[in-house]
Structure 1
Amino acid sequence: MGLFTFINDAGAKVFGIGKTLVTKTLDVRAKEKVATESELDRREEAAARNLEETISDLRLQVENLHVFIDLNIALVSGKAYDQSTREKVVLVIGNTAGIALVDDQMSVEHVEPEAQFHTVERGDTLGKIAKHYYGNAMKYAEIFEANQPMLTDPDKIYPGKVLRIPNLN
């Protein structure tokens, strides 16, 4: 699929990366004694393993899944079961605070049409998004289902989060 851009400071802040990591990296490169390069590498490796574990916990089927993080860029490889799984993996990684770019190098076992992506803006609802893409606000359930298990409630979306918008044709 290629490269996907995300809002660096949006998303889940649970993997020990984000502003703190970027700030520390910049400080290290400026030769300040905030953190060593090896400490940053360990944090990035731990964050990558946590993302792999999260993807597994979400039961997203990817053979030989590998995530590599360098600063705010994540590279993901492996063989996804289908296009939907591939897109969800990209979104799990990209919707993590501290990740600004996902380089998707995955292949797909069962090919299907690619979905569109939508970055949630202030005031968006799934109904409003469905109206925009499908012309029918009541099709919000399709968007909700396409983003499960990452979304647990159709009313809990936030600005900066990127959603899958499946092709209904």
Structure 2
Amino acid sequence: MAIWDFVKDTGKSIFGKAEASPAPADSKPSKPAQENATQAKVEALKKELKTLGLDAGDVHLTLKGDLVKIESRGADRETMEKLVLAVGNIEGISKVEADMPEDAEPQFHTVAKGETLSAIAKKYLGDANKYQAIFEANKPMLSDPDKIYPGQKLRIPQVA
């Protein structure tokens, strides 16, 4: 299994904010409360994958702190890469662990402040006009080529 790092404090917010007043500094949540919170986060992640059309029913997620482990028996390489990015680009997630089909390591890029898909395409694909290939490779997580943000991780497709 490989592990990919993500920027924990950026990305789509799906977990919500705690509504309760802060607990005293010396108290810890009970184990059942921690397990319930973890299960609620896993359910939110599954709902997000379903919304994106990336859960064919065979995706299993395990959450430990801010690390998500993804397992899927039927997913091809492209789908697994998209699953890694869809989960990793969620606010609060800093690492994603998954097995990729095939031997080649996927190519991901972390967006820097001020970068555009055209600049990323020029860097990796040698032609700024190939930005559409990167956009297509990151659908359905991207809905507009102009809506990327610093810290977001993107798939770089293998373009001939």
Partner of 2:75, secondary structure, is: strand
- Superposition TM-score, scaled by structure 1 size: 0.82
1:37-116 mapped onto 2 (5 Å cutoff)? 37-105=31-99, 108=101, 114-116=105-107
Counterpart residue identity of residue 8, structure 1: K
Cα-to-partner distance string for 1:121-167 (whole Å, 9 max, x where unaligned): 00100000000001100000000000000000000000000000011
Judging changes above 3 Å, is the alpha-carbon distance between structure 1 residues 70 and 87 closer, same or farther for their aligned structure 2 residues?
same
Provide the rounded CA distance (Å) in 2 between the counterparts of 1:96 and 1:143: 19
**Structure 1 or 2: larger helix share?**
1
Indicate the structure whose relative CO is greater, using CA pairs within 8 Å and at least 6 residues apart. 2
Closer/same/farther in 2, CA of residues 150 and 112 from structure 1, 3 Å limit? farther
Structure number having the greater strand percentage: 1
User: What SS does the corresponding residue of 2:119 show, helix, strand or coil?
Assistant: helix
Per-residue deviation, 1:39: 1.9
Q: 2:14, 2:44 within 8 Å by CA — same for their partners in 1?
A: no
**SS in structure 1 of the partner of residue 73 of structure 2:** strand
How much does 1:32 deviate? 2.1
Tell me, in whole angstroms, the C-alpha distance in 2 between the residues paired with 1:126 and 1:36.
45
TM-score (structure 2 length as normaliser): 0.86
How many equivalent pairs are there? 157
Q: Moved runs in structure 1, 4+ residues, more than 3 A?
A: 111-115
Aligned residue in 2 for 1:151: 142
Partner in structure 2 of residue 9 of structure 1: 9
Please, which runs of 5 or more residues in structure 2 have no aligned partner? none
